[in-house]
Amino acid sequence: MNVGQAIGCRIRETLPASLGVLDTFCERIRKVLQEEGVGSDLFAVELLLREALTNAILHGSQENPSKKVHCELGIQDDCVTIIVADEGEGFPWRAAMERELRPLSSSGRGMGILRKYATSIQFNEKGNRVELKRRLVKGHHHG
């Protein structure tokens, strides 16, 4: 199956900024991750991917399907890298990173998810591109 251009395990894909494409794309990525032996980290990696893409579609692109969301996923050694960029104005990510988690609020949980599941989070200056890294635990399950 052709998923974008998979080189080793690097996937690059450009999606329309529409939530309608999210499930299909994430299912395809899940298959690739399983084939690559991501194992017990599968849930965390998929959650990070889904969260970053949802933010780019909803907030970055205002769910405007004429805008594009760029996604790159790579697996190297024991690390998965996810890069998601949108064509939006960006957002004040420094303030969002510093904000305390409000577990009961209906929005603003995304940064908490990223902080909990990503080993590192890096935004570009503008805030319309995020690079997430997740170190993989080989061979045994962890929560």
Cα dist. 64→67, 86, 126 in Å? 6, 11, 20
pLDDT of residue 95: 87
Q: What is the pTM of this model?
A: 0.86
- Residue pair 81/131 in contact (Cβ under 8 Å)? The answer is yes
The candidate with the shortest Cα–Cα distance to 77, out of 120, 41, 36, is: 36
Between CA 56 and CA 68 the distance in angstroms is 9
State the Cα–Cα distance between residues 60 and 68, nearest whole angstrom.
10
pLDDT, residue 112, reads: 87
What does pLDDT average to in each consecutive run of 10 residues of the chain (143 residues)?
A: 53 96 95 90 96 95 96 92 96 83 65 92 97 81 40
The pLDDT value recorded for residue 46 is: 96
Q: Give me the torsion for CA of 15, 16, 17, 22, rounded to 10°.
A: -50
Which whole-number Å values give the CA distances from 114 to 20, 66, 127, in the listed order? 22, 27, 15
Q: What structural domains does the chain harbor?
A: 10-135 (3.30.565.10)
Gap between the Cα atoms of 116 and 100, Å rounded? 13
Give me the pLDDT at residue 2, please.
44
Closest CA relative to residue 84, chosen from 42, 117, 50: 50
